[in-house]
Amino acid sequence: MVLKAQQTPYQKNIVIFASGEGTNAKNIIQYFSNQNNIKVTHVLSNNIRAKVLKTAHDLKINALHFDRSAFYSTNEVLHVLQDVDPDLIVLAGFLWMMPENIIQEFPDKIINIHPALLPKYGGKGMYGDNVHKAVLENKEDETGISIHYVNEEYDEGKIIKQFPVKLDPADDLTSLKKKIKTLEHKHFPEVIEEILTKKQHG
């Protein structure tokens, strides 16, 4: 059973999907924690051991785990989302491709963050350290983050915003990850807020 989030008539609700530690999810939850018009109501994860589930629980956010069958073979996760009726679904380090039934049910309401300047370093298998290592191996002058809508292909949805960062020849995996994480934490909540504020006034 999913409890419908209590909300004012003007509140916009966010559901976050995450697969791992959940630093972006935590940052987004905290960013909106003191706002009355936008709230994170649920965090969903495909990884029962994901730290993000405990983080959500600690921050008093509904935390739910689901398996591959519930996501792809049945409408179980879709029904959860229909009950919650989010204004925006945010993928924050979520590694599975969204199924077609969810994409069709929530058109232009699902966004993802990618740790590179798409279309570079996107596609299946390009996530986390895989992206950063490829960027370093190709000696790129800059990289960054892309925030985009989600469609039926990995990293191919319409780009909403991109934020670049310069690379130094001395950058390694650790320093690059830090630069990207700084960009994510600064810009992801702001872009979410912009999207939902436009929806509110649109």
Q: Kindly state whether residue 23 falls inside one of the protein's structural domains.
A: yes
Q: What confidence tens digit (pLDDT) does each residue in 32-62 have? A: 998 889 999 999 999 999 999 999 999 999 9
In a domain? residue 70: yes
Residue 8 has pLDDT above 60, yes or no: no
- Mean pLDDT confidence for 2-6: 50
pLDDT score of 173? 97
Longest dimension (CA), the chain: 52
The pair phi, psi for residue 54, each rounded to 5°, is: -65, -40
Whether residue 5 is contained in a domain is answered as: no
Task: Give the mean pLDDT of the chain.
Answer: 93
CATH number at residue 125: 3.40.50.170
Does any domain span residue 29?
A: yes
Residue 132 has pLDDT above 90, yes or no: yes
2 in any annotated domain: no
Asked, for residue 39, whether it belongs to a domain, the answer is: yes
pTM of the entire predicted model = 0.92
pLDDT score at 200: 54
State how far the Cα of 126 lies from the Cα of 30, in Å rounded to an integer.
28
Residue of 42, 114, 132, 148 with catalytic role:
114
187, pLDDT greater than 70: yes
> How many domains does the chain contain in total?
1
Cα 61 from Cα 59, distance rounded (Å)? 6
Report the distance separating Cα 148 and Cα 128, nearest Å. 16
The pLDDT value recorded for residue 202 is 47
Mean pLDDT of 56-80: 96
Confidence of residue 10 (pLDDT cuts 50, 70, 90): confident
- 114 in catalytic set: yes
Band of pLDDT at residue 199, cut at 50, 70 and 90: low
Per DSSP, the three-state class of 43 is strand
What are the strands, taking DSSP E only, across 56-103?
A: 62-65, 88-91
DSSP state of 4: P
The answer to whether residue 3 is domain-embedded is no
Domain residues for the domain of 68 are: 12-201
Q: Does residue 1 fall inside a structural domain? A: no
